[in-house]
Structure 1
Amino acid sequence: MKDLSKDPTSPHSAGALERMAAGVTRWSEKWFPDAYIFAAIAVIVVAAGALAIGAPIQRVGVAFGDGFWSLIPFTMQMAIVAISGYVVAVSPLASRVIAWLARLPSSGKAAVAFVAFISIGTSMFNWAISLIFSGLLVRALARRTELRMDYRAGGAAAYLGMGATWALGLSSSASQLQANPESLPKTLLAITGVIPFSETIFLPQSMLMAAVLAVVSIAIAYLSAPGPARARTAADLGVALDERELAVRKPQRPGDWLEYSPLVTILIVALGVIWIWHEFSTKNPILAISNLNTYNLVFLLIGMLLNWRPRRFLDAVAKSVPSVSGVLIQFPLYGGIAYMLTKASATGGLPLSDHLSHFFVAISSHSSFPAVMGIYSAVLGFFVPSGGGKWIIEAPYVIEAAKALNVHLGWAVTVYNAAEALPNLINPFWMLPLLGVLGLRARDVVGFTFTQLIVHLPLVIFMLWALAATLTYHPPVMP
């Protein structure tokens, strides 16, 4: 009988994590619906929950309709994240930098681990940069056909910054809000006070957690990635990788000359640079670049400059638009979910989000609070995947409960941050811009991200509980 453990093409020769990822991937490829269906089911579940607490069906429907367009500014921001990243990547200079980085790994599994390292490292500074840059690196690595990198595993590794560490870094929405009193609603500021970075993301305990998650995530990415004999490459998946080369055409008629003249680009970029200089010179640079509008304008200007001629820039934008179709149609559904959670209630009663929060707070104690609230925040984050917006919803009762139970307030923010990232590993919401860049579907990568979640969930909850014991409560600092 043939020894299957020695056959490199056999799943029996793979490690435990690789077999787990392969098994979940096979299941998801068969059963996991399109991300749109995933969002639609979430709408139905939340609507049913609101009806269950006594909210009239008319109120539920009104909340859904009112919320449907509430994320339009954010939807546009996320679409521009994908478009600007694409436009920058197709420029000659950026393509050469990414190609240089793509030459570093020596094997397909090492390439997946390298992408995970880049994704997690960049996410500590800015989650949007992490998402797009890592996706573009995966595409470049996939062009190295001799590596036989599993394209699905590479895509999942590119997503690890959003699924593991971003909320423990500088672009953490909750930490940024709490450190800047002018950004907080006055009613919330009266409850929480100012909680500086030194009490949240720069706590030694928080940095230790981020370091542990980074090491574990990279190790899982490497161990779960299929070897060369079992890898499915971009070609195997039918993903084209050659569309990034944009030919520079010549003007066909006199009216085309401005489209091919860099003069228009230079003037627009000059105006943008003036505004950017003002932003960074009058604000904290970290806060400035963490603002999505600033980030998007910077990258659009860079894209204009690197593509140099307006015609080439417009061609790059046209090629990028298909990558944002999922964002445009699905984000409004999440806006409706958020409103049904927070605004649909029985007459004179509390909304569904408050019912959920009161239940979890009621079963908490000083020692169990981090674990219980971590689980709750992760569950709610699955339905309301918005770091800053969800913190505005949760902060009043989370901080009040932390004060009542004498829990370190900065650690309460860290509990939220660490738990907030967990549902991202299987929720298609934040995957959409990356999937558009990669030309994949959520079902292609969720087997690998679910494998990460299986390890992350108990590890994060344990660290939230264990490290809380090393901290002491301090009353809130009012501005």
Structure 2
Amino acid sequence: MTATAPEIRTEKGLARVAQSLAGWTEKWFPDAYIFALVGVLLVALAALANGSSPQTIVDAFGNGFWDLTAFTLQMAMVVLTGYVVATSRPVARLIDTLAAVPQSAATAVSFVAFLSMSVSFVNWGLSLVFGGLLARAIARRIDLRVDYRALGAAAFMGLGAVWALGMSSSAAQLQATATSLPPALLQVTGVLDFGTTIFTWQSLTMCAIIIALTVLIAHYSAPRGDAIRTAQDLGVDLNDEPEPAAARTRPGEWLEYSRILPIVAALMTLGWLISQFLTSPILSVVSSLNGYLLVFLMLGLLLHGTPRKFLQAVSKAVPATAGILVQFPLYAAMAAILTRAVGNGGMTVSGHLAEFFTSVGGGGGFTVIIALYTVILGLFIPSGGGKWLVEAPYVMQSATDVQMNLGWTVQVYNVAEALPNLINPFFMLPLLAVLGLKARDLVGFTFLQFIFHLPVVLLLVWLLGRTFEFVAPVIP
């Protein structure tokens, strides 16, 4: 069912603006993979304009294409582990309990937005699926008539607002993991643990302000009255009955249905985690991307109870990682062209960009320019980790040159990086699969969030950035 003219006329205020924006974005935005391919072309053209030879450019493209293989797997695992945990039976029971809390349509939308952002601080992949399942559970309530599109958009706010300010931030995780950092970047920044990025009071304050702003917008933009379109109006089937367990057909399958091995694996993980906390600084432990993924993967195995149920959940989660697997090699190729294709005067495009950002000078102007640049680049590279590897070499070099705090520079990138997600629907795909909706159903609401978020983010990075002092990087 599609929106009709009378329905649009009955909407008022922010809800009407949201629906007006939806049609434009759906019409003009191509698939995210197209953005990545266009990005490669633009970077190659920039290198040509810089005087690099075609041979140098294609060599950089081919040689750098697989530079992010390990990081690509890690980011795919963030999505997979989050999906597996969110679809476990204990989490499903929690979601049903939470779905009974809201007592009005607008409160239900803002409630979903708040919880999706709160969960996203821990794991953005978990937030996408958790938020989608919570939206479905609320939509099933027969005592509450809620707009399903607004619920879906609220479920996306974890990734559209604060995900990169949380513990699964690709850029912060990368900067805290020496083995995942490209050598050239490691020599500029050193290792930055979460104490210098995610857990600074400035970053936490910024996160709290954005969460409050997002909840308010979600509440007041939720359609009311005759403008509400429920899941039933949209033709969405809300039946979430679990698939019946497959019958055992042979004795050799008994371990697949046993809880013994998941419990053993979970206990081994717990033992390893305790050992890490006893022998290493706490921040270095929580900043470890590999350790983070290990804990979430084993948590998913434990929550599903048996290897068979766990593997069924993994099979459903794998399609959600497809975009990461095919796009990250293109981001690696872009980074290689920017940093390796030497042109006239022995300078790369990355070097020229570093000079430009350095010329802006330090202080608030630098952070605002970096934030705006991050937003624009994010339209072509809708990936926090992939884009950071493209952007970081020259941005962090510029930050060092103007003596801007490197940890805060990472957080400026992080808060700005989330903004393009509100326009580019690439990371909506796993959520849309859960909701049974299309991007055009959500983007009007998320675009409205973008309009409010952009000036607030720019103001926050400028004001809070003035409270930092420069700390010289420790190069291993």
Partner of 1:449: 446
Once the two structures are TM-superposed, the CA of residue 144 in structure 1 deviates from its matched residue by: 2.9
8 Å CA contact 1:246, 1:316 repeated in 2: no
CA distance in 2, matches of 1:272, 1:201: 24
> Does residue 82 of structure 2 align to residue 85 of structure 1?
yes
| 1:168-189: CA deviation from partner (whole Å, max 9, x where unpaired) | 3455555567678898778767
Note the 1:272-311 alignment, pairs <5 A: 272-285=269-282, 287-311=284-308
RMSD of aligned residue pairs (Cα, Å): 3.8
> Cα deviations across residues 84-108 of structure 1 (Å, max 9, x unaligned)?
3333344332211111111112233
Identity %: 50
Q: Does 1:157 align with 2:154?
A: yes
Write the mapping of 1:76-475 to structure 2, written as runs, cut at 5 A: 76-144=73-141, 146-172=143-169, 200-201=197-198, 203-227=200-224, 229-237=226-234, 239-243=236-240, 245-285=242-282, 287-346=284-343, 349-364=346-361, 366-385=363-382, 387=384, 397-398=394-395, 401-402=398-399, 405=402, 407=404, 411-469=408-466, 471=467, 473-474=469-470
Q: Is the 8 A contact 2:350 2:394 kept in 1?
A: no
Q: CA deviation at 1:18?
A: 1.6
Match of 1:27 among 24, 36, 47: 24
CA deviations on 1:338-391 (whole Å, 9 max, x unpaired) are 333333443664333333343343244645222222222333344445546655
Please list every run of 5 or more consecutive structure 2 residues that lacks an aligned counterpart in the other structure. Answer: none
* TM superposition shift of 1:247: 1.3
CA contact (8 A) 2:79 2:126 kept: no
Query: Structure 2 vs 1, CA of residues 226 and 376 (structure 1 numbering), >3 Å: closer, same or farther?
Result: same
1:476 equivalent to 2:456? Answer no
CA distance in structure 1 between the partners assigned to 2:18 and 2:100 by the alignment? 26
Query: 2:300 aligns to what SS in structure 1?
Result: helix
Is the Cα–Cα contact under 8 Å of residues 115 and 137 in structure 1 kept in the other structure?
yes
Whole-Å separation in 1 of the counterparts to 2:246 and 2:120: 37
Question: Quick one: structure 1 residues 20 and 392, their matched pair in 2 at CA, closer, same or farther if it must change by over 3 Å?
Answer: same
- Which residue in 2 is equivalent to 1:17? 14
Distance 2:326 2:184 in 1: 33
Q: Is the 8 A contact 1:28 1:444 kept in 2?
A: no
The one-character-per-residue Cα deviations of 1:244-271 (angstroms, maximum 9, x if unpaired) are 5121343234444333333444444444
- State the 1:236 CA deviation: 4.7
Partner SS, residue 55 of structure 1: coil
Q: Is the 8 A contact 1:35 1:442 kept in 2?
A: no
| Separation in structure 2 between the aligned mates of residue 195 and residue 325 of structure 1, nearest angstrom | 30
SS of the residue 1:33 aligns to: coil
C-alpha distance in 2 between matches for 1:400 and 1:319: 41
Paired position in structure 2 for 1:53:
50
Kept after mapping to 1: 8 A contact 2:95/2:133 = yes
TM-fit CA distance, 1:117: 0.7
Distance 1:9 1:140, change over 3 A: farther
Aligned-pair CA distance for 1:218: 1.2
TM-score normalized with structure 1 length: 0.81
Q: Which moved more, 1:90-99 or 1:354-363?
A: 354-363
Change (3 A) 1:476 1:232: same
Deviation at 1:22, TM superposition (A): 0.6
> Helix, strand or coil: the match of 1:144?
coil
Choose 183-192 or 350-359, whichever is displaced more. 183-192
Q: Is the 8 A contact 1:8 1:230 kept in 2?
A: no
CA contact (8 A) 2:364 2:461 kept: no
Residues in 2 aligned to 1:338 and 1:185: alpha-carbon distance in whole angstroms = 10
**Residue segments in structure 1 that go unaligned for 5+ positions in a row:** 1-6
Secondary structure of the corresponding residue to residue 226 of structure 2: coil
Whichever residue aligns with residue 476 of structure 1, its letter is A
Separation of aligned partners in 2, 1:290 and 1:179? 6
Query: Equivalents in 2 of 1:249, 1:317: separation in Å?
Result: 16
In 2, Cα distance between equivalents of 1:403 and 1:88: 40
> How far did residue 116 of structure 1 move?
1.3
| Alignment partners' CA distance in 2, 1:388 and 1:30 | 28
Aligned residue number for residue 40 of structure 2: 43
Letter in 2 for 1:371: V
Aligned residues: 472
